[in-house]
Amino acid sequence: MSAREQRGDVRSELYKRNLDYSLKELQKQIQEHEEQLEMLRTNAISRPEITQSPTATLTVMKQAFDDVARSEPYLPFPDSVLPALLALRKTHQTILESRAYLESQQTTLTDAKRQLAQSRADLEDQEALSQALKERIESLKKGEENATEVSPEEIARKRIDELRDQKKHYDRETARLFRAFKNFVEERLAPLLAAEELGGPVVGDMMDVDEVDLAGGFDARGRPKKAKQDEDKRQRRLDELWGGGEQSGSVREWDEKVAAATEMKKLTQDLLNNLIEAKGDTAASYVAIEKESSAARFLVRAKVAQFHPRDATRLRLVDFGREIDD
């Protein structure tokens, strides 16, 4: 056994003896207190009950406190482990109280952080608003200074130029949107409209429809037919659903996709023209349609157009701007 292990065993044996001695000492103190308490109880029972005045009671209490103050306090022997145990218990109690306090303050800290973040955001908003107001005031001051130097004719001419520039901008944007709409209808929407018109799935239920599916048609369940359809029968079906392609003026081959795209573009053009010519008159904005085609149903489902409440052969665009203003 090494010297370190021997010293450890000696310390362990010494600690064990001190712990046993401390325990015996505490048990002895407890026994002495119990004997004193039992003696006091016996004396209290043997003595007749005498009513004491408040002064006498205070005198007895004062004498008892004086006796306690003059008596030698109990102190453990030098090698006792009692002070360490008391210190450990106090430390443990302090740790528990500190943890409980931290947990109780955690919610308060979170609320304070949230309120601080909100206050910072409000301050940033107020600073931004203040800066915007300052810039607006400076702009108005400069505008007043410039207005005093410009004649009414120059102001009117400048305003006319601004309106012309705005009109050119809107014309360019309108042309761009029409081109995008035309490309979307011809390349993406037309096959889906044609499929729905041929008895296939509703637009949106089947995203990939090719020319083979359109040429073969669809069965009663809306599924593409695998068998190739006779060209004469296919042409008769085209004529029945969309009519001939001579009036379209298109140099492209007249098939289901082209027919559906032509119908959609013509319908939207008629709806736009009627809406513009109606000038706010709802009754005059309706367009008469020969049948409830897939194009018409798609516009209604998209909430872009709506049927007449009492006539399903009349359709009009929803006048968004007018209805919002109303």
Q: DSSP per residue over 53-93, as a string?
A: PHHHHHHHHHHHHHHHHHSPPP---TT-SHHHHHHHHHHHH
Rg (CA), the chain: 50
Selected residue with higher pLDDT from 278 and 74:
278
- Distance CA(274)–CA(269), nearest Å, equals 9
- Residue 283: band (very low, low, confident or very high) from pLDDT cuts 50, 70, 90: confident
274 closest CA partner among 253, 288, 292: 288
State yes or no: pLDDT of 249 exceeds 50.
no
Task: Determine the average pLDDT of the residues in 232-241.
Answer: 62
For residue 321, is it within any domain? yes
Q: In the numeric block, which tokens belong to residue 152?
A: 């009414």
Chain segment 145-193, per-residue pLDDT in tens: 666 666 778 888 888 999 999 999 999 998 999 899 889 888 888 888 8
Tell me the one-letter amino acid at 81: V
For residue 32, is it within any domain? no
Model's pTM, two decimal places? 0.45
State yes or no: pLDDT of 313 exceeds 50.
yes
State yes or no: pLDDT of 228 exceeds 80.
no
The confidence score (pLDDT) of residue 161 equals 92
For residue 116, is it within any domain? no
Task: Determine the average pLDDT of the residues in 265-294.
Answer: 87
For residue 155, is it within any domain? no
For residue 216, is it within any domain? yes
* CA-to-CA dists, residue 118 to 63, 125, 139, 172, angstroms: 65, 11, 31, 44
Mean pLDDT of the chain: 79
- Residue 96: band (very low, low, confident or very high) from pLDDT cuts 50, 70, 90: very high
For residue 274, is it within any domain? yes
316 contacts 308 by C-beta, under 8 angstroms: yes
10 Å CB burial of residue 313 (0-12, 13-18, 19+) is: middle
CB atoms near residue 266 (< 10 Å) = 13
The confidence score (pLDDT) of residue 326 equals 43
Residue partners of 319: CB distance under 8 A and separation at least 6:
275, 280, 282, 285
State yes or no: pLDDT of 202 exceeds 60.
yes
Residue ranges making up the domain that contains 300: 185-325
Count up the domains in the chain and report the number.
1
10 Å CB burial of residue 1 (0-12, 13-18, 19+) is: exposed
- Residue 84: band (very low, low, confident or very high) from pLDDT cuts 50, 70, 90: confident
Burial code (b: 16+ CB inside 10 Å, e: under 16) for 23-53 equals eeeeeeeeeeeeeeeeeeeeeeeeeeeeeee
- Distance CA(121)–CA(13), nearest Å, equals 67
User: In terms of DSSP bridges, do strands 311-317 and 305-308 run parallel, antiparallel, or are they unpaired?
Assistant: antiparallel
- Distance CA(192)–CA(183), nearest Å, equals 14
Task: Please state which of the ranges 102-106, 110-114, 235-239, 261-265 shows the lowest mean pLDDT.
Answer: 235-239
For residue 157, is it within any domain? no
215 closest CA partner among 207, 205, 206, 225: 225
State yes or no: pLDDT of 197 exceeds 90.
no
How far separated are the first and last CA of the chain, in Å rounded? 101
For residue 81, is it within any domain? no
